A = this chain, B = another copy of it.
Amino acid sequence: MNIKIAKNSGFCFGVKRAIKIALDESKNFDKLVTLGPIIHNPQMVQKLAEKGITSIDDIDSASHEPVIIRSHGVTEQTLTRAKKEDIHVIDATCPYVSKAQQYVKSLSKDGYPVIILGNKDHPEVVALRSYVEGEVYVIAGIDELPDKYFHKVGVISQTTQRLKKLQALISALLAQSKEVKVINTICNATSVRQDSTRKLAAESDVMIVIGGKNSSNTKMLASISQELVPTHHIEEADEFDFKWLDGVDNVGLTAGASTPDWIILDVYNKIASYLDEAKDKVRNVEDIPGYKEEKNVYE
């Protein structure tokens, strides 16, 4: 029997980097706070708490301990406030998000009304929007496109949006604009996870999808996989049932972008040790057969 993990699985580059920064910095400080949870995962939140890293809701709740900015980024106003209060800021904003913030600021400075494609309540979008000085519209799709003609307009996207949605927006906008300047700030972490899950499912007899039952990106992976092969969606290794391996030659694993590495490792090691008791435990997701996280294609 073979076990393989989808080439792109688990944490994306930005989240992985933010958590590493937080853990590294926890060695320098007794107490650290993050502005909002670094990731919506209870096990990870607990692990961070053990290292003295807790989460606060806003900068006003900080009491002069160093503040970590998570991968989504924060508003320009929050940064100004932190500076004014002389709070030590550890910036773990995803570099792709930081770039998007710079782009949106520059579009705005160049006099472009700005359209942001994204979920207006998402922290990344709230932060992005704060970098616009003039006219700005946050829209979830073409249905919310303002009913006006633009002599010039700048467009930017939340990094997790789908390219198809951006393409549809630009097509609609071209019919009501003279000049459209679009910066494609979409990160391919989501789509490569879906693509590599689809690929692995096609060559597996059973798929184990690891991640939060309420994680929308993990549920999407389970749904893609289920269309091709029997699929089990679990949150932790405890839920794994060895009966799932009956009559199976090829086991496929995959994990959502919010699934911590050690949960993936637990599941892999549980299955691997069942197959070969003497086998050493794997300690890094990178060492699971099949794993090969790609860099963003065009960065």
- Copies of this chain present in the complex amount to 2
Residue of B166, B175, B178, B181 touching A163 (CB-CB under 8 A): B175
Known: A163-B175, A166-B174. A298 touches B149 (CB 8 A): yes
A119 within 8 A of B: no
A85 within 8 A of B: no
Binary interface encoding of chain A residues 147-169 relative to chain B, with 1 for a CB under 8 A from any of its CBs, else 0: 00100000000000001001100
Binary interface encoding of chain A residues 170-185 relative to chain B, with 1 for a CB under 8 A from any of its CBs, else 0: 1100111111111110
Residue of B171, B176, B179 touching A171 (CB-CB under 8 A): B171
B184 with A178: CB separation less than 8 A: yes
Q: How far is the CA of A91 from the CA of B180 in the complex (A)?
A: 29
- What is the interface residue range for chain A against chain B? 10 to 19
Q: Which residues of chain B are near A174, meaning CB under 8 Å?
A: 163, 166-167, 170, 182, 184
The smallest C-beta distance from A261 to any residue of chain B, in angstroms, reads 30
Q: Which residues of chain B are near A178, meaning CB under 8 Å?
A: 183-184, 298
| Chain B minimum-CB-distance residue to A168 | B171
Q: How far is the CA of A170 from the CA of B183 in the complex (A)?
A: 12
Q: How far is the CA of A182 from the CA of B178 in the complex (A)?
A: 8
8 A Cβ contacts from A250-299 to B: 298
Q: How far is the CA of A175 from the CA of B188 in the complex (A)?
A: 11
| Chain B minimum-CB-distance residue to A179 | B183
Q: Which residues of chain B are near A170, meaning CB under 8 Å?
A: 167, 170-171, 174, 180
Q: How far is the CA of A298 from the CA of B182 in the complex (A)?
A: 21
| Chain B minimum-CB-distance residue to A151 | B298
The smallest C-beta distance from A137 to any residue of chain B, in angstroms, reads 19
| Chain B minimum-CB-distance residue to A177 | B184
Q: How far is the CA of A298 from the CA of B151 in the complex (A)?
A: 9
Residue of B175, B176, B184 touching A180 (CB-CB under 8 A): B184
Residue pairs across A and B with Cβ atoms less than 8 A apart, 23 shown, are: A149-B298, A163-B174, A163-B175, A166-B174, A167-B170, A167-B171, A167-B174, A167-B175, A170-B170, A171-B171, A174-B182, A178-B183, A178-B184, A178-B298, A179-B181, A179-B182, A179-B183, A180-B180, A180-B181, A180-B184, A181-B181, A181-B182, A182-B182
Chain A contacts to B: CB under 8 angstroms: 149, 163, 166-167, 170-171, 174-184, 298
Q: Report, nearest first, the 7 A-B pairs whose CB atoms are least far apart.
A: A167-B171, A181-B181, A179-B183, A180-B182, A149-B298, A174-B184, A170-B170
A163-B175, A167-B170, A180-B180 known; 20 new pairs, CB 8 Å cut-off, are: A149-B298, A163-B174, A166-B174, A167-B174, A167-B175, A170-B170, A170-B171, A170-B180, A174-B184, A176-B298, A178-B184, A178-B298, A179-B181, A179-B183, A179-B184, A180-B181, A180-B182, A180-B184, A181-B181, A182-B182
